[in-house]
Amino acid sequence: MTIPTQQTYLISLALSILYVAVIYIPIPQPILAFCRISNSPVNQHDRNDPIVVQMRIVRITGYTLLVCGILPLILCYLDKEEQNQKRIHFLEIFQQLGFLPSPMKLILNSVNTLMILSLLYIAPLAHEIFVLQANPLKDYIQQITDTIHGLRDLIVGPLSEEIVYTAAMIITLSHSEQRLSQDRLIYIPPLFFSVAHFHHAYNLHRQGHKILPIVISTLAQGTYTYLFGIFTDYLFLRSSDVWCCFVAHSFCNFMGLPMFKASEGPSWWRSWGYYLGLVTGLIGFAYCLKFSLLI
């Protein structure tokens, strides 16, 4: 399958822009009146307003499903292969999106991904379990079942972003005339993913934050999302499995950035143990990622 390189980049750009645009489509007043539980006003610019969250979940879910159905058709239509050569078909592209791994592959890749990430977070996890006496698995499930924000942050957001920004973009760019190398397929899609998060600067501006903190926050988030995008692209190219990318994304959204200092425990040995865990966890993460068992 061969598609003009410029068109593959334009498709990727369109996927990214439309994802953000769908989020910011204003909610029609009749729907607001229907959904409003109380007489309290709905702030459409507040991403955490429950009704806004519900509507965005519905729209992003619909958009993601459309991408899954329409993108393979577009790529088939743009295929420049000659008629006497083998042309790729809809089902082949759909399978390349990584939705249908074998059950064993799905389980192994998901478990292996969690084990690798657990090394990166070994210090925060140990701190939560042994010092704060918390149960991360229980807290994860509780966030999903008890709040719509948890459903957005841990299920809908990670899954839709991995389908659009990882699987769909990698498959689109991989069929470029230039035959992009795996390195480029790892490093290019995260650019779209990172820039797409710049819309949070608009939210901060509307909340009255000053320009400098907005710029610093946006650049920091853009850098983090770019690096995380590289990680999930690497997972996808190693495994051809979008579900392990979703598992990684959901887990990292739940854990957040690793804290560089334990929140409790003044004992010097506990603090040094936490720092040692951060360093050894990072080394172990890098080593195991290189020699992981993704199949």
Decide if pLDDT at 181 tops 70: yes
H-helix or E-strand spanning residue 223 = helix 211-239
Tell whether 114 is covered by a domain.
Answer: yes
Contact 189, 12 (CB under 8 A): yes
pLDDT tens digits, residue range 77-133? 887 665 545 556 888 889 999 999 899 999 999 999 999 999 999 999 988 898 888
From residue 143, alpha-carbon distances to 95, 243, 245, 258 in Å are 32, 20, 20, 19
The residue type at 251? F
So what's the pLDDT on residue 84? 45
So what's the pLDDT on residue 149? 94
Would you put residue 49 in left (φ > 0), alpha (ψ -120 to 50) or beta? beta
Question: What's the mean pLDDT in 245-255?
Answer: 96
Tell whether 274 is covered by a domain.
Answer: yes
Collapsed DSSP state (helix, strand, coil) of residue 176? strand
Tell whether 87 is covered by a domain.
Answer: yes
- How far, rounded to the nearest angstrom, does the alpha carbon of residue 163 sit from its chain's CA centroid? 8
pLDDT tens digits, residue range 123-169? 999 888 988 888 999 999 999 999 999 999 999 999 999 999 999 99
What mean pLDDT is reported for the chain?
86
- How far, rounded to the nearest angstrom, does the alpha carbon of residue 294 sit from its chain's CA centroid? 19
Domain count, the chain: 1
Tell whether 184 is covered by a domain.
Answer: yes
Alpha carbons 229 and 245: distance in angstroms, whole number: 10
Tell whether 64 is covered by a domain.
Answer: yes
Q: Which residues contact 121 (CB under 8 A, 6 or more apart)?
A: 255, 258, 281
Decide if pLDDT at 51 tops 90: no
Residue 49 sits in which domain range? 5-290
Tell whether 295 is covered by a domain.
Answer: no
pTM of the model: 0.89
Contact 279, 122 (CB under 8 A): no
Tell whether 80 is covered by a domain.
Answer: yes
Alpha carbons 246 and 291: distance in angstroms, whole number: 20
